[in-house]
């Protein structure tokens, strides 16, 4: 059977070049990933785009979960007549309560 070999894609070349970057040693633990990818954006065009997309994802959803929890407490966990603006104000006040109380 005759196999036709395809030329490597630019992304494949980028991955191979990137893998050689740290092939002899591990990256330093103090490495700033955003700065790393900014400095190599032209060298690794596709990989840097992917890296920036991944770095934009929050590491945790705890803050969002707290806001939803506060909204649930504000509405009693049921549908009510509270409008979105009033609900937002109430959640902001509850979420920032410790800061508001310090100012008095």
pLDDT digits (tens, 9 = 90+) for 43-88: 999 999 999 998 887 777 777 777 777 777 666 666 666 677 887 8
Domain boundaries, the chain: 10-55, 62-102
3-43 confidence digits (pLDDT tens)? 556 555 667 888 888 888 766 666 677 788 899 899 999 99
**What's the whole-model pTM score?**
0.46
**pLDDT greater than 60 at residue 2:** no
Residues 77-101 pLDDT 10s: 666 666 778 878 877 887 777 776 6
Cα separation of 50 and 37, whole Å? 10
Cα separations (Å) of 103 from 3, 33, 92, 96, 99?
75, 38, 16, 12, 7
Establish how many alpha carbons lie within 13 A of residue 95's alpha carbon, considering only the half-sphere containing its beta carbon: 16
- Number of neighbours of residue 36 by Cβ within 10 angstroms: 15
């Amino acid at each position: 059977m005759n196999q036709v070999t395809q030329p490597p894609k630019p992304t494949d070349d980028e991955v191979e070049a990137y893998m050689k970057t740290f092939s002899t040693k591990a990256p330093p633990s103090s490495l700033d990933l955003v700065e790393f990818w900014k400095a190599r954006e032209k060298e690794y065009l596709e990989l840097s785009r992917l890296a920036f997309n991944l770095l934009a994802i929050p590491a945790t959803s705890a803050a969002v979960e707290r806001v939803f929890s506060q909204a649930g407490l504000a509405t009693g966990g049921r549908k009510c007549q509270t409008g979105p603006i009033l609900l937002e104000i109430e959640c902001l006040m509850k979420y920032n309560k410790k800061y508001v109380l310090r100012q008095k």
